[in-house]
A and B are shown apart, each in its own frame.
Chain A
């Protein structure tokens, strides 16, 4: 059995699993798995670019995904004119002042001679800058958040088509990645890991607390969609007629239609990114990346600027995660900062890449689809398993406790899968060539 046949078979198995879900459970459930699987595949391509190509250990995927989600809000939601007139200018000015303080500190650090004088000047700039920033920002934030807090209470977005937020989400994530990469790349790999873990938590904290930006934990709901609403389809006689032609009732048909629409959009993005990633992998640039990954010292001796190349690939990979985040928020139609969990958005993507085969784009996509399928299905399977196991037990505290805890089986299972793959098949399902 040659490699192509094996890989095709692996993809066919995952496709078969999803089809089986459609037959056994419902086609809506199957399409839901497919859609999130596609989004996860985009994230996995991003992480694979960083880890598989360049050996960079980024565990802040969640933060970049959340920035993509923020982009969906900022691009597509209608602006809130009252909020803008109440404090929009103040907030923009405050943010500019904040950025100016940081830039001034960096310039000062570069220009002045090291010594106590520089330390004092730096401290003065940072402290004064911080208080000016807060003094300008705080009143405006209060004013904005007072504007009809039950419905808006934030500045709103630009009111542009939501699809635009996908590239913009990528840009936003790329910007954040550039800042982090500038500071933490070039240090040891664990430090990059800690730094990215931290920035992801901070991005989530900002999204949760800065109500003027995206309503915080009050969530932004009703993000415009690139596809028609189900209810409109159901009221459209032409659609109902066509659905009847397939032998479907209008409600099921409309939900399936919308989900298939998302699947098609996501597939386009995935194919484009996949094509680009494959081109990159087989270009001189990709070979250089792998050379740097395998032996930094040798690559440096050949005149390659390791830190710059790392920064480049770190920004690119994070941007792809941002695109995936914007796609996900678009599909959900809402931004809910409370649901961003590192275990779900960072570590799960890592499991996907490693199980699929780090360094191989097809592996990453396969791993994403497979692991996402497991993530969704392990819970019902775990409950079923425990029901079988406990069926002989008498009803009591232990039995109900076991059944209640079944939901936590998935974390355990994912950890187990990761460790088993790393131990027995460290190159993954579709190994790097």
Chain B
């Protein structure tokens, strides 16, 4: 019984939150890695792109809520998501046309593009704060839980409850669907193949008649969609606040680099590695230890390796270790 309770507590506090956080990071890291693979620079504006897409979705959600449109138990934001994606696509395409294309034609050094993306980040950040304000926005509606802790307890008779939030379930399901779609696109369609070819060897791709501007445009479309989905899922799961999206930049980049920049599979693996490490290292294991250990050994302290305020430090340390021992990432991205 104690053992089962320990497993339930572990799932409730560690596995499920880490799964959904990992999916969100993976979606974010996929966007970063695609930009890196095709446009060949680290896009610092990615966090704020996510915030922008999520913001448009939130505005559409509010409009739908005021019109009385809803999805029953599911959050209305799902219906509003296409609007968010369209808004985000418009934004990134305009940005690309007005800002990045110039440097692409000049064949500017990547570091210049990184600085430019910093400027874009400033502008997007200002835009989001200007439109929706810097505060927390809640836009989650529908049923709060797929299964609540109390229902689980009455169902199984265990002491520990297992709660799965709707947003967590949705995050994982959506992420799986989006990733499957992305890989199907990259591996099976003509456009996807031309993107991979362009990323792999630009000169050879150009020689075989691939239109680089088209590849770049498709990349931005996909990145905008991924960023919006990631931003909305994160906003549903936690809450929407423009500044937190800027702070997501570090774990997202850590995921992309740990997996290997430019490698989509790596981005997904990296997202889960970072998420699971963050959650396990900052979780207080006391509860689980009490179930598993004999009474004499029960700990007095929280058995928490690091306080949750140091979440960022966890992704940072993993990033440093990977950079030191395997600079191209676990899945051998295209770097150096």
**Structural contact, A202 and B130, CB atoms closer than 8 A:** no
Q: Could you tell me which residues of chain A, from 415 to 433, have a CB within 8 Å of some CB in chain B? A: 415-416, 418-419, 422-423, 426
**Structural contact, A409 and B130, CB atoms closer than 8 A:** yes
Give the residues in chain A near B323, CB-CB below 8 Å: 183-184, 187, 191, 195
CB distance from B55 to the nearest CB of A (A): 13
**Structural contact, B129 and A419, CB atoms closer than 8 A:** no
Give the residues in chain A near B324, CB-CB below 8 Å: 183
Q: Could you tell me which residues of chain A, from 157 to 200, have a CB within 8 Å of some CB in chain B? A: 183-184, 187-191, 193-195, 197-199
Pick the most buried of A194, A201, A202, A416: most chain B CB atoms within 10 A of its CB: A194
Q: Could you tell me which residues of chain B, from 106 to 162, have a CB within 8 Å of some CB in chain A? A: 110-112, 114-116, 118-127, 129-131, 133-134
Which of B42, B102, B130 interacts with A423 by CB under 8 Å?
A: B102
**Structural contact, A415 and B120, CB atoms closer than 8 A:** yes
Given contacts A55-B111, A183-B323, A343-B122, contact A411 B250 (CB under 8 A): no
Q: Could you tell me which residues of chain A, from 377 to 417, have a CB within 8 Å of some CB in chain B? A: 404-405, 408-416
- With the chains together, A433 CA to B151 CA distance in Å? 73
Total number of B residues with any Cβ neighbor in A under 8 Å: 49
**Which of the 9-residue segments B184-192, B218-226, B306-314 touches chain A?**
B306-314
In the complex, B316 has a CB within 8 A of chain A: yes
**Structural contact, B42 and A193, CB atoms closer than 8 A:** yes
**Structural contact, A418 and B119, CB atoms closer than 8 A:** yes
Pick the most buried of B121, B123, B133, B335: most chain A CB atoms within 10 A of its CB: B123
In the complex, B10 has a CB within 8 A of chain A: no
- With the chains together, A422 CA to B108 CA distance in Å? 11
Which of B42, B110, B122, B305 interacts with A415 by CB under 8 Å?
A: B122
**Structural contact, B319 and A350, CB atoms closer than 8 A:** no
In the complex, B247 has a CB within 8 A of chain A: yes
In the complex, A84 has a CB within 8 A of chain B: no
Give the residues in chain A near B291, CB-CB below 8 Å: none
User: Closest A-chain residue to B256, C-beta based?
Assistant: A194
Give the residues in chain A near B120, CB-CB below 8 Å: 415, 419
**Structural contact, A57 and B336, CB atoms closer than 8 A:** no
In the complex, A347 has a CB within 8 A of chain B: yes
The interface residues of chain A, by DSSP majority, are classed as: helix
Chain B positions 300 through 328: 1 when the CB is less than 8 Å from some CB of chain A, otherwise 0: 01000101011011011001100110010
- With the chains together, A422 CA to B313 CA distance in Å? 33
Given contacts A183-B323, A188-B335, A193-B42, contact A354 B126 (CB under 8 A): no
In the complex, A146 has a CB within 8 A of chain B: no
- With the chains together, A187 CA to B329 CA distance in Å? 13
Give the residues in chain A near B247, CB-CB below 8 Å: 201
Give the residues in chain B near A418, CB-CB below 8 Å: 115, 118-119, 122
Which of A184, A198, A412 interacts with B312 by CB under 8 Å?
A: A198
- With the chains together, A423 CA to B114 CA distance in Å? 14
In the complex, A342 has a CB within 8 A of chain B: yes
What are 21 A-B contacts defined by CB distance under 8 Å?
A: A57-B114, A190-B110, A190-B111, A190-B114, A194-B319, A201-B247, A201-B312, A202-B312, A202-B313, A343-B122, A350-B118, A351-B119, A408-B129, A411-B126, A412-B126, A414-B126, A416-B119, A418-B118, A418-B122, A419-B116, A422-B112
Known A412-B127, A415-B124; 10 more pairs at CB < 8 Å: A191-B323, A194-B254, A198-B316, A202-B316, A205-B310, A209-B309, A350-B118, A410-B126, A422-B112, A422-B116
